[in-house]
């Protein structure tokens, strides 16, 4: 691997907590592909990890609830012919997934008022358009 995969700031994925599984991959390949285990499945136990701060862990468990199987996040990669490149892809994907899941919630939107001038201009333009269309008919509206 190319080193620790950062989630955000100084927090990274601990290599000891990553569980790797390899299997035969479908897709492109040559004669070698039938005998090599190039598909990668990376598992990370989110409930048991000590690498994430408690607040991040809680946030991630809540946001990834639909993806978790017994508290474990699973990421698969099989787009490359090389097991090594699939390992890299899976680790990067897991780090990105955890970074997104642990991100702080966005600041609440502060409602703003529409300036009076903008509203008046809109109504003035609407009245002008109405007068223009009214002037197109042959009737005298008064």
For the record, the structure tokens of 70 come out as 């017994």
The 10s digit of each residue's pLDDT in 104-129 is: 888 999 999 999 999 999 999 999 99
Helix (H, G, I), strand (E, B) or coil at 88: helix
4 pLDDT exceeds 80? no
- Name which residue leads in pLDDT, 16 or 126: 126
Please check whether residue 99 is in contact with residue 26, taking contact to mean a CB–CB distance below 8 angstroms: no
Alpha carbons 98 and 79: distance in angstroms, whole number: 21
Task: Report in angstroms the alpha-carbon separations of 122 from 115, 117, 118.
Answer: 11, 9, 6
What are the strands, taking DSSP E only, across the chain?
Answer: 6-8, 11-12, 18-23, 39-45, 72-77
Alpha carbons 91 and 94: distance in angstroms, whole number: 5
The 10s digit of each residue's pLDDT in 24-81 is: 766 666 666 556 777 888 898 888 888 888 888 888 888 888 888 888 888 888 888 7
Q: Give the pLDDT score at 127.
A: 96
- Name which residue leads in pLDDT, 110 or 139: 110
Domains and CATH numbers, the chain: 6-102 (3.30.160.20)
């Amino acid at each position: 691997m190319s080193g620790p995969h950062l989630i955000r700031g100084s927090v990274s994925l601990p290599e000891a907590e990553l569980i790797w599984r390899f299997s035969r991959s479908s897709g492109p390949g040559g004669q070698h592909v039938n005998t090599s285990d190039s598909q990668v499945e990376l598992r990370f136990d989110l409930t048991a990890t000590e690498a994430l701060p408690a607040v991040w862990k809680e946030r991630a468990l809540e946001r990834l609830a639909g993806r978790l199987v017994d508290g474990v996040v699973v990421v698969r990669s099989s787009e490359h012919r090389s097991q090594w490149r699939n390992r890299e892809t899976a680790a990067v994907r897991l780090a990105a997934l955890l970074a997104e899941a642990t991100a702080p919630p966005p600041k609440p939107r502060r409602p703003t008022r529409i300036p009076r001038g903008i509203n008046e201009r809109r109504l003035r333009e609407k009245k002008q358009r109405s007068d223009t269309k009214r002037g197109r008919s042959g009737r005298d509206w008064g």
